[in-house]
Amino acid sequence: MKRLGQRIWRYAWGYVFVTPWLLLYLAFGLYPLLLSFYLTYFTYSFVRPEDYVFVGIGNWIQGLLDPLFWKSLFNILYNQGIFILLKNGLGLISAVLLFKATYFSRLFRTIYFMPVVVSIVVLMTIGEFVTGPNGPVQTLLVRYGPLDAPVFWKFDRWLPMPVIAIINTWKWFGISTVILLAGLYTIDPQLYEAAAIDGASGWEQFRYITVPQLQPQFFFLLVVDLIFGLQMFAEVFTIGYDVYGGIYNQALTPVLYLYAQAFDRSNIGYASTLGLLLALIIALLTVIQFKFFPREAR
Amino acid sequence: MLPSRRFTWSMVLIYALLIIGGIVVFYPFFYMLMNSVKTGPEILHSPTSLPRQITFSGYQGVFERLNMLLLFRNSLILAVSITLLNTFLSALAAYAVAKIPFPGRDQLFGFMLTTMMIPGVLFLIPTYVMIYRLGWVGQFHALIIPSAVSVYNIFLIRQFMVSIPDEILEAARLDGANELLLFWRVILPLSRPALATVAILNFIGSWNDFLGPLLYLNQPETYTVQLGLYQFKTSIPGENAQEIWAATTLITVPLILVYFFLQDQFMRAFANVTLK
């Protein structure tokens, strides 16, 4: 025990240096965490303080039976399915092109990464006008055939989620590009030489060497994409939907719904439960990804 | 798959695709810039054509009607204080977990890594309840204090600091430097690349933040640039087209310029990779 005391005294600065983090984490991490569990057992509201009633697991049951919550979950999975495929697919294509290009590779990389620094409010402002009924994309589509007439996609039942996925792809595919490009540089060139000697075509080399060798990068991208993607909020909020995501709830995401319950309906206890429910779903999907990805890729 | 230096048709195809990609990525920026110097009716009726005549009345309107200077001031207060505080306090904790073998350090670091796994959405409502009860809603410190240090940034800096050789520290300690002096004089200068990464993430994150200001800074005098632009855009739909594009440009162009000068650091910060 004396030795431990000596070591504590000797390395006391260590404790001093982690104290700011520890205090702030106790106050703004651990306390809210416990509070969120506590709040799920109550109905609670800022505007109706007398409404403070113990409901047990009532909020959980309400959440599991709430069609709007499931609609929001469906929407976000629909959106993220398209987004993750597009963003990482385009990221892979552009990474391979940049890897093969000998000149100006850096210049193109700079341009492709540029949208990453744009804020969501700016992104959705630009995105809304560029994809809007008289914006450049639809003007082109109408002029050259695919569309008969301009589409007001924001008010459609099924279009908002794919269009937002495309707008988000523009912003984020640069990150995939850069991560996969770094992965390409780590692949042993001898693999390609050996394959070329065996007569493998360019496509076969891509399919059987490049893609499998990039598995660690893909795994990282998928895990991070899903964790952040399922928590989408500002994209649908700033593009001007009401807090229920439009008349068909076509753009309702789980976090938007949570916001609606907390600040429109003033159901703090229920909103807190929805937050926990979403966190559990995210944790579950992350665990599934860890289970189903080949061990050597993690 | 190997880079080749010969002229081939596949090279032509590669550059053609790269150029098309470059145009698609760059066009929205061009669209924003171009519309910011048009007149209002021209933006509404022919948004895709080049401006017939360049006008800066949108930019004028932004300063007169949107109080742009106040928005910039508020955003800078937030972004600068969060960047300084968070980078410093995260580095301080990172130094302790990387280089000071105090009893309980490994357990503490393990606990930090566990807290990183919890999705942020869980904290949204309880943190709001807490800040509301503290009476901080409407004040800048409602956003600054909870962001003053973060585990992810501690982790990033720590990963860099473990590679600093212990001999350097031992030499300084023998010269009689205490740990605080050592941290300030030796560790911080040596950790510059990691600090740049964290500072960039902090600054861009708080400058671009929308949900935080929406929850806690919802009065016109505390609006940030993001919140101000959002309110301006949604208050009268279809109006203010000129001002919207001018404001969008003003908010974005400074970030893009900084990005051009520090692009390697940006890629390291956002993608966690180093490219030559």
Q: Name the residue in chain B with its Cα closest to that of A211.
A: B1
Minimum mean pLDDT range among A72-86, B92-106, B163-177, B249-263: B163-177
State whether A278 and B119 contact (CB < 8 Å): yes
pLDDT of residue A298: 67
Amino acid in position B253? V
Contact B130 A35 (CB under 8 A): yes
| Residue B254 touches chain A, beta carbons under 8 Å | no
Of A188-202, A269-283, B2-16, B261-275, the least confident = B2-16
Q: In the numeric block, which tokens belong to residue A33?
A: 């965490």
Task: Identify the pLDDT of residue A91.
Answer: 97
Average pLDDT over residues B6-26: 91
Stretch (H or E) spanning A135? none
Name the residue facing A117 among B132, B211, B259 (closest C-beta). Answer: B259
**How many angstroms away from the CA of A141 is the closest CA of chain B?**
13
Asked if B119 and A46 come within 8 Å (Cβ–Cβ), the reply is no
> What CA dihedral angle connects A282, A287, A288 and A294, to 10 degrees?
140
Instruction: Tell whether A219 lies on the interface with B, counting CB pairs under 8 A.
Output: no
Any B CB within 8 A of A175 CB? yes
In DSSP notation, chain B reads -----S--HHHHHHHHHHHHHHHHHHHHHHHHHHHHTS-HHHHHH-TTSPPSS---HHHHHHHHHS-HHHHHHHHHHHHHHHHHHHHHHHHHHHHHHHH---TTHHHHHHHHHHHHTS-THHHHHHHHHHHHHHT-TTSTHHHHTTTS--HHHHHHHHHHHTTS-HHHHHHHHHTT--HHHHIIIIIHHHTHHHHHHHHHHHHHHHHH--HHHHHH--SGGG--HHHHHHHHHHHSTTS-HHHHHHHHHHHHHHHHHHHHHTHHHHHHHHH-----
Give the separation between CA A100 and CA A96, rounded to whole angstroms: 6
User: In the predicted model, is pLDDT for residue B274 greater than 80?
Assistant: no
Domains of chain A in sequence order: 1-37 (no CATH), 66-297 (1.10.3720.10)
- Nearest CB to B119; choose among A12, A24, A227: A227
Task: Inspect the interface and report whether the beta carbons of A175 and B229 lie closer than 8 Å.
Answer: no
Please indicate if any CB of chain A lies within 8 Å of the CB of B49: no
pLDDT in tens, B226-243: 999 999 888 776 678 888
CB-closest option in B22, B27, B96 to A14: B96
Q: What percent of chain B shows pLDDT beyond 70?
A: 96
Q: If chain A, 298 residues long, is cut into consecutive pieces of 10 residues, what is the mean pLDDT of each piece?
A: 84 95 96 94 81 87 96 98 98 96 92 97 95 91 89 95 98 97 95 93 92 94 95 95 96 97 94 96 94 77
Of B25, B226, B251, nearest to A170 by CB-CB distance is: B25
A135 vs B contacts (CB less than 8 Å): 47-48
Residues 6+ apart with CB under 8 A from B56: B37
Mark which residues 24-43 of A lie under 8 Å from B by CB.
24-25, 28-29, 31-33, 35-36, 39
Q: Where are the domains of chain B?
A: 9-58, 67-235
Rg of chain A over all Cα atoms, to the nearest angstrom: 25
Contact A28 B145 (CB under 8 A): yes
Query: Could you tell me if A234 lies within 8 Å of chain B, comparing CB atoms?
Result: yes
Under the banding of pLDDT at 50, 70 and 90, the label for residue B39 is confident
Decide: A87 and A169 in contact? Cβ < 8 Å. yes
Interface test with A, best of B90, B121, B161, B231 (most A CBs within 10 A): B121
A36 closest CB neighbour out of B115, B126, B255: B126
Of A35, A115, A193, the CB nearest to B25: A115
Q: Does domain B67-235 have CATH number 3.30.420.340?
A: no
Residues 6 or more apart whose CB falls under 8 angstroms from that of A167 comprise A123, A124, A127, A131, A235
pLDDT(B3) > 60: no
Chain A CA closest to residue B85: A20
Residue A268 burial (C-beta neighbours within 10 Å; 0-12, 13-18, 19+): buried
What pLDDT, on the 0 to 100 scale, is given for residue B237?
65
Name the residue in chain A with its Cα closest to that of B255: A117
pLDDT at B6: 59
pLDDT of residue A37: 92
B273: closest CA of chain A, how far (Å): 6
pLDDT in tens, B100-144: 999 999 999 999 999 988 999 999 999 999 999 999 999 999 999
Q: What is the pLDDT of residue A52?
A: 83
Min Cα–Cα distance to chain A from B259, Å: 8
| Residues above pLDDT 90, as percent of chain B | 73
Q: Tell me what pLDDT residue B7 has.
A: 67
Give contacts of A33 with chain B, Cβ < 8 Å: 118, 122-123, 126
From A11, which residue of chain B is nearest by alpha-carbon distance?
B102
> Does residue A53 sit in helix, strand or coil?
strand
Which residues from B are below 8 Å from A31, CB to CB?
Answer: 126, 130
| CB contact (8 A) between residue B226 and residue A282 | no
Question: Is the model's pLDDT at B2 over the cut of 60?
Answer: no
Task: Answer yes or no: do B5 and A102 touch at CB < 8 A.
Answer: yes
ipTM above 0.95, yes or no: no
Nearest to B126 by CA among A278, A35, A113, A40: A35
Q: Look at residue A41 in the predicted model and tell me its pLDDT.
A: 92
Q: What is the mean pLDDT of residues B67-74?
A: 94
Q: How far apart are CA B189 and CA B168, in angstroms?
A: 13
pLDDT higher than 90, residue B8: no
Amino acid at A234: A
Residues of B in contact with A126 (CB under 8 A): 28, 31-32, 248
Closest Cβ opposite residue B275 in set A182, A237, A272? A182
Q: What is the mean pLDDT of residues B85-102?
A: 96
Which residues of chain A make contact with B102, given a CB cutoff of 8 A? 7-8, 11-12, 14-15
Q: Does A73 touch chain B (CB under 8 A)?
A: no
Question: Does residue B186 belong to the interface with chain A, where contact is any CB pair within 8 Å?
Answer: no
- CA nearest to A174, candidates A117, A105, A227, A229: A117
Which position has the higher pLDDT, A1 or B91?
Answer: B91
Binned at pLDDT 50, 70 and 90, residue B172 comes out as confident
| CA atoms of B251 and A161, how far apart (whole Å) | 26
Rounded alpha-carbon distances, angstroms, from residue B154 to A69, A132, A275, B141: 35, 42, 26, 21
The alpha carbon of residue B139 is apart from the nearest alpha carbon of chain A, in Å, by 16
